[in-house]
């Protein structure tokens, strides 16, 4: 073990951080693991690689999360929770219903475009048949909040005559997700077949506007 200038044995910096700030260590593991799982998938990800890129050790990763599948599930939970927290900060209840619906749709477009790891993780979980989401009550709770936002917006819109009746919040959520998710999940194949014109900044701004417009028009009387 290395000595300092006074000849005393120096305590390893990483080990100190485990004792002093375990939440920071846990957050660091989740952040690094998110990138590794998004790049390699569950099957291809290696705990050794995650440990190398973190501020801690392989032993401590197992201490915090148990095994690789539990870490992957925790990454999914953290990724969904991050998106839902950002939605909660939009203050949608203070907006007219049509503005709130447009804002939520455009937020989702921006979020997916910026948080590409989120989209890749959802794609990976679909490859696994959603089995790890099934094992997490946390993810279900977080995602039900997205539908609750839309239930409130839709109910207000119907009461104000801004929206037609006969729709559901879940249906609106599906339409928003479909439009915003495709923009990221299929970018590689779409741009190689048709060119990257729609993925330039001005075109993306236009698509963002059209997504918000189309969702509002879909709900309109």
Chain segment 69-88, per-residue pLDDT in tens:
999 999 999 999 999 899 98
Average pLDDT, stretch 132-143?
80
153 is written with which tokens? 């917006």
**Claim: this prediction has a pTM higher than 0.75:** yes
Instruction: Output the CATH code of domain 1-66.
Output: 1.10.10.60
Q: How confident is the model at residue 1 (pLDDT cuts 50, 70, 90)?
A: very low
Q: Does domain 77-219 have CATH number 1.10.357.10?
A: yes
Q: Where in the chain is the domain with CATH 1.10.357.10?
A: 77-219
**Using one digit for the tens of pLDDT, what is the confidence trace for 183-207?**
999 999 999 999 999 999 999 999 9
Q: Where in the chain is the domain with CATH 1.10.10.60?
A: 1-66
């Amino acid at each position: 073990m290395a000595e300092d200038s006074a000849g005393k044995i120096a305590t390893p910096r990483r080990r100190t951080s485990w004792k002093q700030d375990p939440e920071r260590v846990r957050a660091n593991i989740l952040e690094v693991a998110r990138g590794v799982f998004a790049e390699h998938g569950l099957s291809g990800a290696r705990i050794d690689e995650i440990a190398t890129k973190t501020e801690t050790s392989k032993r401590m990763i197992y201490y915090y999360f148990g095994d690789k599948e539990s870490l992957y599930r925790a990454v999914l939970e953290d990724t969904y929770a991050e998106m839902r927290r950002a939605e909660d900060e939009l203050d949608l209840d203070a907006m007219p219903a049509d503005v709130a619906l447009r804002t939520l749709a455009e937020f989702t477009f921006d979020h997916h475009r910026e948080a590409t790891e989120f989209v890749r993780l959802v794609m990976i979980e679909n490859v696994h048949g959603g089995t790890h989401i099934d094992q997490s009550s946390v993810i279900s709770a977080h995602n039900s909040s997205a539908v609750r936002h839309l239930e409130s917006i839709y109910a207000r819109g119907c009461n104000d005559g801004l929206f037609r009746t006969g729709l559901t919040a879940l249906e609106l959520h599906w339409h928003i997700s479909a439009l915003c998710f495709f923009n990221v999940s299929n970018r590689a194949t779409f741009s190689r077949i048709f060119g990257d014109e729609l993925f330039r900044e001005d075109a993306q701004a236009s698509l963002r506007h059209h997504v918000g417009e189309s969702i509002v028009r879909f709900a309109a009387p």
